Amino acid sequence: MRQSNVQVEETFMLQSKVLMDMIELGCADDNIPLQDVTADILAMVIEYCKKHVVNANNKKEFDVDESLKKWDADFVDVDLRTLYDLIYKFADIIKYKSISEIRKIFHIQNDLTPAEEEEIRTTNPWAFGN
């Protein structure tokens, strides 16, 4: 893969949890190395972050939320190769993470009661590393 430098405003980069963590931990100066990220996927990530920053700043009308939902749906309507790259990256993000870590990464609220959660753990122990 060819290495290339892409300049991105910090506001857009902070939409990415990975990049935000690198910046906050001091792992990044003017250059942030991104291993195993193709130029096409990086361009998509930048486009996504830019769109969401713009919409977050303009969140005044209901129409903005609806138009963003449509934009998101169109955004992920990609060719199979790109979809596989995105799925691979997603899987890599959650690999070896606990359920609570995954919920934190993706801002997923646990809406299960303790009894429901226990039932799921009992009937699907493989999903919990038991």
Domain spans in the chain, listed from the N-terminal domain onward? 1-95, 98-130
**CA neighbor of 38 nearest in space, from 72, 2, 71:** 2
Residue 49 has pLDDT above 80, yes or no: no
Residue 20 has pLDDT above 60, yes or no: yes
Residue 29 has pLDDT above 90, yes or no: no
Which two structure tokens, joined as six digits, stand for 23?
């910046």
pLDDT band for position 64 (cuts 50, 70, 90): low
Count of CB atoms situated within 10 Å of the CB of 31: 7
Residue 61 has pLDDT above 60, yes or no: no
Task: State residue 58's pLDDT score.
Answer: 55
Task: State residue 55's pLDDT score.
Answer: 58
Task: State residue 97's pLDDT score.
Answer: 85
Q: Where are the alpha helices (DSSP H) in 1-130?
A: 10-13, 17-24, 39-57, 62-75, 80-94, 99-105, 114-123
Q: What is the pLDDT of residues 66-116, one digit of tens each?
A: 788 888 888 888 888 888 888 888 888 888 888 888 888 777 889 989 999
Task: State residue 5's pLDDT score.
Answer: 67
- Greatest C-alpha distance within the chain: 52
